[in-house]
Amino acid sequence: MRIFKDEAKLSLEYVPPVLPHREGELRLLNAFFSSLLRGKQAISVRVVISGSAGTGKTAMAKLFGRQMEAEAKSRRMNLRYIHINCRVNRTLFTILKRVVEHLKIPLPSRGYSTEELMHGLLDYIVENDLYVILALDDVEVLIKEEGSSPFYFLTRIGEEREDRMSRLSFIFIVRNPEILSMLENGVRVGMLDNVVHLPEYDAEQLYNILSYRVSEAFFDNVVLEESIRLIADLASERGDARYAIETLWRSGKYAEADESSVVTPEHVRKAAASIYPAIKKESLAYLSLHEKLILLAITRALALGEKAYTTSSELNELYRLVCEEYGVQPKAYTRFWEYLQKLEDQGIIRIKVSSEGIRGRRSYITLPEVPVSILQHELVRLLEGESKEP
Ligand SMILES: Nc1ncnc2c1ncn2[C@@H]1O[C@H](COP(=O)(O)OP(=O)(O)O)[C@@H](O)[C@H]1O
Ligand SMILES: [Mg+2]
């Protein structure tokens, strides 16, 4: 049973041809660079892309670069986009070496100083009528390693060689733009004028992003609607598309291992648990009796593996049944609700209040990080031990 149509579409290196919910940000980025394409009186453009992990900074920059190269080509302009990750290339010197390699500039790789590399690069750019956009990703690493000096160097060279420098533009990619305001004064000026900030994705946006990636990577009707919803909800706590796509991919792997023809919410729970194992056996033992009984009721409600959520009223009924089974007097509804909230505070369950207006507002309960089957097994074992105690 094959479920993946093209698994590579979920790899981290893959850059999708469209990025849903980033249309506005991409337009803004283009606007900042529009003067470059007009080409008449080129100036060095500097733009900052900011946003927390998994908001699409890297993907958007690379997609922009690809589109920019194509657009320039259609205008018979020689423009190259170069994307460099500062986590991999941690100093200005290694960054410049990467650029030189990328452009295949015939410079000897030894015995060169940073200045010589930079001048060699600028000379080559001018001689070949080239424009370069250099994107420095995870630039906080470079700041941590070398402080303000690389930025100082890049902009000062620009002052000395205005003509050449105008052909070299920059995109600086950071999580938090505040780190750039820690740079020395002379460098900082003007740097934060052009910022494209990427806000975290909400559940609805993640759902759309996932649906699109599902259609690229899986055969039709393989990933259940409920499973996509569940991944979107789990990832919306962080607003993180990388976490969402990683969970999607792993869910597919668990489905494959089960020889299942569909990806169910239970596969999603397994995948999520394998990424961030939240509930440890030891911490279950410390739960109170009624917390354990409620948790067991939740696993019963979700047990079929086809359900991502249960409602609080449905759960209360199951809880009363479980109490009966173990010969325990059930708690009143308000106490039951209190226990639910305690379980949520400990990160064991998630309670989601739907926003269908105040009257229609309902609570949905789910187990985000752990497969039902494992949890159920463990709870039954603990509860049996408990009831045997005098
Ligand atoms: N709007 C989007 N549409 C489709 N995929 C997206 C979108 N935003 C992010 N992704 C995907 O999510 C993952 C993380 O994005 P990435 O650009 O690496 O985030 P960041 O660099 O901000 O940490 C990548 O696989 C990327 O392709
Ligand atoms: Mg990134």
Strands (E), 267-324: 310-311
| Ligand 1 and 21: CB distance under 6 A | yes
Specify the CATH number of the domain 281-388. Answer: 1.10.10.10
Query: Which residue stretches of the chain have pLDDT < 50?
Result: 357-359, 389-390
Fold (CATH) for 23-197: Rossmann fold (3.40.50)
| Ligand 1 and 51: CB distance under 6 A | yes
The residues facing 133 across adjacent strands are: 81, 169
User: Is 57 marked as a binding-site residue?
Assistant: yes
| Ligand 1 and 80: CB distance under 6 A | no
User: Is 212 marked as a binding-site residue?
Assistant: no
- pLDDT, position 360: 52
Sort strands 46-50 and 78-85 into parallel, antiparallel or unpaired: unpaired
Tokens matching residue 80: 């190259």
| Ligand 1 and 238: CB distance under 6 A | no
Of the candidates 143, 148, 220, the residue with the CA atom closest to the CA atom of residue 189: 148
Q: Which residues of 21-52 are buried (b: 16+ CB within 10 A; e: fewer)?
A: bbeebbeebeebbeebbeeeebebbbbbbbbe
Give the nearest ligand 1 atom to 241 CA: 12
| Ligand 1 and 292: CB distance under 6 A | no
Strand order in the sheet with 310-311: 310-311, 363-366, 350-353
- pLDDT, position 280: 63
Per the CB < 8 A criterion, the answer to whether 139 and 174 are in contact is yes
Query: Any idea which ligand is nearest the CA of 23?
Result: 1
Of the candidates 131, 191, 116, 129, the residue with the CA atom closest to the CA atom of residue 167: 131
- pLDDT, position 201: 94
Phi, psi (degrees; rounded to nearest 5) at 125 = -60, -45
- pLDDT, position 175: 84
Q: How many residues does the chain have?
A: 390
- Residue range(s) in the chain whose domain bears CATH number 3.40.50.300: 23-197
Fold (CATH) for 201-275: Helicase, Ruva Protein; domain 3 (1.10.8)
- pLDDT, position 282: 65
Which of 245, 247, 250 has most ligand 1 atoms within 8 Å of CB, for mutation? Answer: 245
Per the CB < 8 A criterion, the answer to whether 131 and 42 are in contact is yes
Q: Is 52 left (phi over 0), alpha (psi -120 to 50) or beta?
A: beta
- Distances, alpha carbon 35 to alpha carbons 24, 45, 166, 264, 335, in Å: 18, 9, 11, 49, 64
Q: How far is the CA of 158 from the centre of ligand 2 (A)?
A: 27
- pLDDT, position 389: 45
- Residue range(s) in the chain whose domain bears CATH number 1.10.10.10: 281-388
What percent of the chain has pLDDT above 70? 90
Alpha carbon distance 47, 268 (integer Å): 38
Tokens matching residue 131: 């424009």
Q: Long-range contacts for 253-262 (Cβ within 8 Å, ≥24 apart)?
A: 255/3, 255/222, 256/3, 256/4, 259/1, 260/1, 260/3, 261/1, 261/3, 261/222, 262/3, 262/221, 262/222, 262/223, 262/224
The residues facing 130 across adjacent strands are: 78
Question: What is the Cβ-side half-sphere exposure of residue 333, based on CA atoms within 13 angstroms?
Answer: 6
- Residue range(s) in the chain whose domain bears CATH number 1.10.8.60: 201-275
Alpha carbon distance 255, 184 (integer Å): 52
| Ligand 1 and 16: CB distance under 6 A | yes
- pLDDT, position 358: 46
Give the nearest ligand 1 atom to 53 CA: 23
Per the CB < 8 A criterion, the answer to whether 92 and 147 are in contact is no
Which of 7, 10, 19, 84 has most ligand 1 atoms within 8 Å of CB, for mutation? Answer: 19
- pLDDT, position 376: 86
